[in-house]
């Protein structure tokens, strides 16, 4: 594989810091530009982050003295230095959408963690093991943007990145209804226990906008390309409740699903354990060897024990049982800032690189 120079837009934030550490020794991608807001621009990465380094792995030595660009004002300076950018910024939706389009129109592909462009019909929203084929919409988007190379591709919201993968291998059994209650870590809000003491000994039954994303985004992921658009799936019907819980990393979901066809519990577990997608077939550098792991122990998956499975890129599932109202119920878990955010975006970039979209 050829080597790529990459930029991180929003490098000083929680997801940006994850990108920095994941890309430190990446075999294909090398960080050549870091950008953030006017607050950080002109400072070195080390100065700009100060004591706000939020993750366990240390700041990469090679990036400490890199000078941060102003993401909005230094677009050409950044795009001159990179083949593509990862983007994870905390800005109003319209401003994020405009910023991502600005980079794409400068012929710089954008792999985004933000929600601003997720529901645009010609922007692929990809979980690489599930809908890698949605990358085929990129030429349509390039036509709209008037670009030859530039485009935007996004990863989905972190809350659904455990239960959508778990349901995927069962879709041919015709899943009609899903109820998913998520128990979401505080890093999903860019917080730690130090910066969010209100969460200690507490559960907060509200995460702004999260239930809509949890119900709607899966329908695009399970959609298909038709007449130059991604047409959303109409089933399964999903309803969700999203709660913030006192956990640092790792979103858990309690899931109930109804199928039209009968199925045995053994058959479901076998489907989970043998499921493979494009990342496994292409042997992408960040792909977990096995995407879905089933735990037979009654008290698993647990966030502290299982969130880092396969470098935080695998999904853990457990407690599968028949249900009297739905067909089955189970519990699943994925790491929200690895699989659910920066790791998922790096895997998406690897997929797009392997398929030639970043050339």
**CB atoms closer than 10 angstroms to residue 298:** 7
Look-up: residue for tokens 């977990």?
A: 288
- Pick between residue 188 and residue 318 the one whose CB is nearest to ligand NAP: 188
The residue assigned the tokens 């045995």 is 264
| Cα–Cα separations (whole angstroms), residue 61 to 21, 57, 109, 266, 300 | 10, 11, 26, 48, 37
The reply to whether 13 sits near ligand NAP by the rule CB under 6 A is yes
φ/ψ of 116, rounded to 5, equals -55, -40
> Taking the complex as a whole, how short is the minimal distance between the CB of residue 228 and ligand NAP, in angstroms?
27
Residue 194: what are its φ and ψ, rounded to 5°?
-70, -40
Give dist(CA 238, CA 181) in Å, integer.
11
- In whole angstroms, the minimum distance from the beta carbon of 47 to ligand NAP comes to 11
CB-CB contact of 168 with 257 (8 Å): no
* Under rule CB under 6 A, residue 316 binds ligand NAP: no
Pairing of strands 175-184, 251-259: antiparallel
Q: State how far the Cα of 157 lies from the Cα of 278, in Å rounded to an integer.
A: 20
Identify the residue among 247, 333, 341, 351 touching ligand NAP (CB under 6 A): 341
The residue from 6, 71, 82, 207 that contacts ligand NAP (CB under 6 A) is 71
Task: Confirm or reject binding of residue 93 to ligand NAP (CB under 6 A).
Answer: no
**Residue among 32, 37, 106, 192 that touches ligand NAP (CB under 6 A):** 37
**Which of residues 14 and 225 has its CB atom nearest to ligand NAP in the complex?**
14
Do 41 and 70 meet the contact criterion of CB atoms below 8 Å apart? yes
The 172-191 site mask, x for binding ligand NAP (CB under 6 A), equals: ---------------xx-x-
Cα–Cα distance, 333 to 160 (Å, whole number): 10
CB of 167 to ligand NAP, least distance (A): 20
Rg, Å, the chain Cα set: 20
- Residue 293 is a catalytic residue: no
The length of the chain is 359
Contacting ligand NAP within 317-336 (CB under 6 A)? 336
CB of 16 to ligand NAP, least distance (A): 5
**In the bound complex, what is the minimum distance in angstroms from residue 226's beta carbon to ligand NAP?**
28
* Residue 140 near ligand NAP by CB under 6 A: no
Give the nearer residue to ligand NAP in terms of CB position, either 168 or 336: 336
Q: Cβ of residue 191: shortest distance to ligand NAP, in angstroms?
A: 8
DSSP 3-state assignment of 181? strand
Catalytic residue list contains 158: yes
Binding-site ranges for ligand NAP (CB under 6 A): 10-16, 36-37, 39-40, 71-72, 88-91, 113-114, 158, 187-188, 190, 336-337, 340-341
Active site residues: 158, 251
């Amino acid at each position: 594989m050829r080597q790529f120079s990459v930029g991180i837009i929003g490098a000083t934030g929680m997801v940006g810091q994850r990108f920095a550490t994941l890309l430190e020794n990446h075999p294909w991608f090398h960080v050549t530009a870091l950008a953030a807001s006017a607050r950080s621009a002109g400072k070195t990465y080390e100065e700009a982050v100060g004591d706000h380094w939020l993750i366990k792995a240390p700041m990469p030595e090679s990036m400490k003295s890199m000078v941060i660009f102003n993401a909005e004002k230094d677009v050409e300076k950044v795009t001159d230095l990179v083949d593509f950018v990862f983007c994870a910024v905390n800005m109003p939706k319209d401003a994020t959408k405009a910023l991502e389009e600005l980079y794409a129109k400068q012929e710089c592909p954008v792999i985004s963690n933000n929600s601003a462009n997720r529901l645009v019909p010609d922007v692929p929203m990809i979980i690489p093991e599930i809908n890698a084929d949605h990358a085929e919409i990129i030429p349509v988007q390039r036509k709209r943007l008037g670009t030859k190379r530039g485009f935007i591709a996004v990863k989905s919201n972190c809350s659904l990145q455990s239960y959508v993968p778990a349901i995927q291998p069962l879709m041919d059994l015709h899943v009609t209804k899903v109820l998913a209650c998520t128990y979401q870590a505080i890093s999903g809000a860019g917080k730690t226990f130090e910066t969010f003491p209100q969460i200690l000994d507490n559960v907060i039954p509200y995460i702004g906008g999260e239930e809509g994303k949890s119900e709607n985004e899966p329908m695009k992921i399970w959609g298909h390309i038709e007449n130059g658009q991604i047409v959303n799936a109409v089933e399964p019907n999903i309803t969700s409740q999203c709660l913030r819980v006192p956990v640092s990393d790792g979103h858990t979901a309690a899931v109930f699903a109804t199928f039209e066809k009968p199925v045995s519990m053994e058959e479901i577990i076998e489907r989970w354990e043998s499921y493979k997608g494009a990342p496994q077939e292409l042997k992408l550098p960040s792909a977990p060897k096995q995407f879905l792991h089933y735990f037979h122990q009654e008290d698993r998956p647990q966030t502290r024990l299982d969130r880092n499975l396969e470098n935080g890129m695998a999904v853990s599932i457990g407690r599968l049982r028949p249900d009297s109202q739905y067909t089955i119920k189970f519990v699943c878990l994925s790491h929200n800032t690895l699989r659910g955010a920066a790791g998922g975006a790096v895997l998406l970039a690897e997929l797009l690189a392997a398929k030639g979209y970043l050339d």
